[in-house]
Homo-oligomer: A and B are copies of this chain.
Amino acid sequence: MIEVLRLGHRLPRDCRITTHCCLVARAFGASKLYYSGQKDKEMEEVIKKLVKDFGGKFHVEYIEDEFKFLTTKKNKTNIIHLTMYGEDYKKFIKKEKNYLIIIGGSKVPGIFYKKSNFNISIGDQPHSEVSALGIFLEFLNLKKFFKNNIKKIIPSKRNKKILNLKSL
């Protein structure tokens, strides 16, 4: 089970970035995204609607105290912190079943570097928590389940093909 923690969500600044993090987490097989910072009901609703349309079981949960959350999770799961300061992700070998993947946040407090089992970078250049999460999850090659979907995309060379299963 792979879950994600997105630190320090700020309104309105991070609205779309965190929404994209949720979409990426879901699309590449994570089961849940926790976020700290400011609560964002609108974002939660957007994701809920998308899950309803495209299927699967993906949840978004707001957490008030990210430090307390880290301590609780630390006992149950391996923690991976994605940061451009970490070690090359290609060296990482997935051994455990459960991981919590942490992504920043403008300034990630030092405790997240210290308490994480792995500080992992996707290249040593600044880029984006959205792409870091996408590349890392794609690298992990998780099984993906998107059952009970209403909409289904049909891959196409030249067109937009989307099947509406509700109307069939």
Contacts and interface: CB of A to CB of B under 8 A. Distances in A.
Interface of A: 13-14, 16-17, 20, 23-24, 26-28, 50, 54, 83-88, 110, 113-114, 119, 121-128, 130-135, 138, 144, 146, 152-153, 155-162
A114 B87 CA distance: 41
Given A16-B16, A27-B123, A125-B146, 8 more contacts: A20-B131, A23-B128, A27-B125, A85-B155, A88-B155, A131-B134, A131-B135, A134-B134
Contacts of A161: 85
Number of this chain's copies in the complex? 2
10 contacts: A20-B128, A23-B127, A24-B127, A27-B123, A27-B125, A27-B127, A50-B126, A86-B156, A87-B156, A131-B134
Given A17-B20, A155-B121, A134 B126 contact: no
